[in-house]
Structure formats: C-alpha cells, structure tokens
Amino acid sequence: MESKFIKYVGTDDLRDFLFENQWTLPEGVAYNSYVVADEKTALIDTAAAAFGDKFIAEVKRATGGKPVDYLIINHMEPDHSALIALARKNWPDMTIVTNAKAVPMVAGYHGITDNILIVNENDTLDLGHCSLVFKMTPMVHWPETMMTYLPEEETLFSGDAFGCFGALKGRGEDHFEEFRDEMVRYYASIVGKYGQTVQAAMKKLAGVPVSRICSTHGPVWEKDIPKVLDIYDRMSRYQTAKGVCIVYGSMYGNTAEAAKAIYEECKARGIKCAIHDAVTENPSFIYKDIFEYDTLVCGAPTYNNEIFPAVAHILKGVAARMIKNHKFAAFGSYTWVGGSVKLMNLMAESAGLQVLGEGMPFKQAFSQAKPDIKAFVDILEA
Ligand code: FEO
C-alpha cells in the first residue's frame, strides 16, 4: 500500500485453532489494523489477545515512538478489540473514538469508561492534513459496527465487511483470485445472516468514492475493489449459481452411498455439484457451497425419530442465515420407521426454501432398497 498517512500494523494468525471457536482456518487469518500518522496519530482497531506484545511493538515502530492520540473502534468483537485495555495502558492519554452502541461494550469487555469520544453518522475527526469520517453500519455483523473513511486518500476502513479468511503471508494488496473462496467461506459462516444490513451499508456507501478498502481481515483492496464489491453484493442478495450442494450424514454408510450416487448422477448430467459430509467437515465449508449453488440436497438417516443430528445442525444454520432463493430436496435411509426426510422437508419449508417433491426415503441398505437416483435427479433438474 502506497500511502502518505496509513501504515499497516496488523498480524497474521497461523495458530491451529477455530475462529469464533467454530470455523477451521487451514490458511490462517489476518487481523488488520492501521496507524494513520498525521499531526495527530490515530490507530484503527487492534488485534486478538494472543498478539499483544507484537501489536504494541508494530504500532510503536509505525509511529516512531509518538503516542497514539486516538483509538478508533469500528467493531467490538474480540478478534479485533482484545487489546483495547493494553493500548490504553501504553498510551494513557489516548482517546477512544467510537459510537454509542460500542460504549457499554468497551466497559463490559475492558472496564474502560473514561476519555471516550462518541461519534455519529458523518462526524469528522481532524488529524491535521487528513481527517476521518465515520459511517454507521449497524449489524454488519454486530449492532455497534461502523466504518471509518479517510477522504484525502479515498480509503474506507470497513471493519469485517469485504473481509476474508486467510493469512496474508506478505501478500499486502489485492490477490482476489487467491482469496476468493476464503472470502465466500468467511461471508457464509460469519456475515451470512445479515444480508439486509450488508445491502443497507452498500447503498449508504454507494456515493462515496473509494479507491482503497482496508478491511479487518484479508488483503487491502485497491485494483480488485469491483470484484470484492460484486461478491459481497451478490452474496448479501443471496444470489447463487445454478448447481447442487449435497450435504449428508450417515451412520453405517447407506445414506452416504445414496449421496455419492446422486453426486455421480449430477456429474454425469453436467450439473455443477459439491458434496459434503456433515459429520467430518467443518460447517463453514458447507455453508460456503450452500451460498454458491441454488439447490440444496440433504441426506440424513432417521435417528431417534428425528433427523440425524449433524445434518439437522446444518439445516438449523441455513434457517439462521435466512438463506433465500434456494430449492431443496431430501433423502435418507431408515431401519423400521422413517421420518427424517419429512422432517427435513418441513425444516426447509419453514426456512423459506422451495421444497422439490417428497424426497427419497429408503429402507435399510442402499444396495437392497435401490432407490431411484435418476428419478431423484430428474426432480432436481426440472
Ligand atoms: Fe472480525 Fe466480527 O470480527
């Protein structure tokens, strides 16, 4: 990033852990934060708790040892905000700048109640030769989320919006193709429920000239801004490509055999198709492909007269994310009394998905029951 005022002070997290204690990170993640160095110095967001010493050292290097005058808090989720108290300890006169909804969170997480400047929509903070303008973007994806705009460099510090999983590993700007799938997985897992508020934020920002997006995760976006905006726009409108995402759980392999047979039949017909085992795969990869394709197919055996739990969990996640514009079909084996297929259809219907037919329950072994896979895929294609 070539900037007169902005210096990157973020950090890569390559630990083997679950983000939000839920989502795997095979490529790691970056916590991005920035120093805006002018007559006054502003720090935009912090990082996760494990990186305190590194973070403070980076900020001191970027400021040349000058104290930080302002800490801008765009978002209070602790992956970015865990070091607020440490920052205040290092720079005791530093003013925290945030919106009213974040103030009780700063107190609740850090016990800090003093020297806080509350900002509202379009308030401006003058730093000398440049300034920061604040844009409220509630529920992208927490109530207190806001963005900070630096008009002199047309730079938007966007919080989680336009972010993605994946550590930077020295890749500073753009790299859209390398990060594209991790952006979809990030959006689907974490921001997916908030399509309406993402759309509201995008409309609000539509007239603002933006030449650089500094998100809290992933690369700084400059030349790839149109691609990044397009993907967030499409996902927040629940736009999909034509294709099938098969999600299954299986106890003794029969529902799995049906899933694989459906997958092979789809492939043979040239239908774009993904397949996921809900028992062994992290749900983030499953939500990613559910957001990608217009048809969701779920397979689960009947277990305790219910849907096999791993698949029920995914369907609950689909409902929570208010996923729209999807078709749905179900299948699954049972031994004495069925029920999972009907129950999956009911869950899908109440989540607003378009249920295609009654589905394909089958009794006991896949090899003996020989369910009609071609007929099932005919319904998906119709
Ligand atoms: Fe990256 Fe919602 O925190």
**Which helix H or strand E contains 117, and what residues bound it?**
strand 116-118
**What is the reported pLDDT for 309?**
98
Residue with tokens 């933006």: 210
Ligand 1 center–CA 48 separation, angstroms:
10
Token pair belonging to 378: 């005919």
**pLDDT single digits (tens) 170-186:** 998 999 999 999 999 99
Cα–Cα dist 231/190, whole Å? 15
Query: Distance, CA 45 to ligand 1 centroid (Å)?
Result: 11
What's the 77 CA to ligand 1 centre distance in angstroms? 5
Q: Which residues line ligand 1 (CB under 6 A)?
A: 75, 77, 79-80, 141, 160, 216-217
Q: Residue 155 pLDDT more than 90? A: yes
Atom of ligand 1 nearest to the CA of 160: 1
347 C-alpha to ligand 1 centroid (Å): 29
Tell how far the Cα of 163 is from the centroid of ligand 1, in angstroms: 9
* CA–CA gap between residue 96 and residue 86 (Å, rounded): 13
Ligand 1 centroid – CA 20 distance (Å): 9
**Side chain identity at residue 250, one-letter code:** S
Contact by Cβ (8 Å): 110, 84: yes
Cα(83)–Cα(48) distance, integer angstroms: 7
- Does the pLDDT at position 216 exceed 90? yes
d(CA 278, CA 310): 6
Q: Give the Cα separation of 140 and 158 in Å (integer).
A: 10
Minimum CA distance residue for ligand 1 atom 2: 77
Q: For 49-101, what is each residue's pLDDT tens digit?
A: 999 999 999 999 999 999 999 999 999 999 999 999 999 999 999 999 999 99
Provide the mean pLDDT of the chain.
97
Q: How far is CA 103 from CA 145, 199, 313, in A?
A: 12, 25, 34
pLDDT of res. 356: 97
CA distance to 144, 183, 256, 286, per residue, from 186 (Å): 20, 5, 27, 12
CA 209–ligand 1 middle distance (angstroms): 24
Rounded to the nearest angstrom, the distance between the alpha carbon of 344 and the centre of ligand 1 is 31
For residue 266, what pLDDT band results from cuts at 50, 70 and 90? Answer: very high
What local confidence, expressed as pLDDT, does residue 282 receive?
98
> What spacing in Å lies between the alpha carbon of 374 and ligand 1's midpoint?
44
Closest protein CA for atom 3 of ligand 1: 77
Report strand pairing: 41-44 vs 34-37.
Answer: antiparallel
State the helix-helix crossing angle for 283-292 and 309-320, rounded to 10 degrees. Answer: 50
What confidence score (pLDDT) does residue 1 get?
87
- Distance from the Cα of residue 306 to its chain's centroid: 30
CA-wise closest residue to 347 among 271, 382, 276, 296: 296
Backbone CA torsion sign across 297, 24, 1, 175: negative
Atom of ligand 1 nearest to the CA of 145: 2
Long-range CB contact pairs, 343-351, < 8 A, 24+: 343/306, 343/307, 344/298, 344/300, 344/307, 344/311, 344/315, 347/307, 347/312, 347/315, 347/316, 347/319, 348/296, 348/298, 348/315, 348/318, 350/319, 351/315, 351/318, 351/319, 351/322, 351/323
Q: Which atom of ligand 1 is nearest to the CA of 159?
A: 1
Rounded to 5°, the CA angle 320-323-328 comes to 110
- Cα 105 to ligand 1 centroid, rounded to whole Å: 14
Task: Provide mean pLDDT across the span 207-218.
Answer: 97
pLDDT at res. 85:
98
First CA to last CA distance, the chain: 49
As a residue count, the chain comes to 382
Asked whether the beta carbons of 331 and 258 are under 8 A apart, the reply is yes
Report the distance separating Cα 326 and Cα 295, nearest Å. 5
Q: Provide the 8-state DSSP code for 221.
A: B
The CA R_g of the chain, rounded to the nearest whole Å, is 24
Model confidence at 111, in pLDDT bands (50, 70, 90)?
very high
Where do we find the tokens 């991005």?
32
CA–centroid distance, residue 80 to ligand 1 (Å):
7
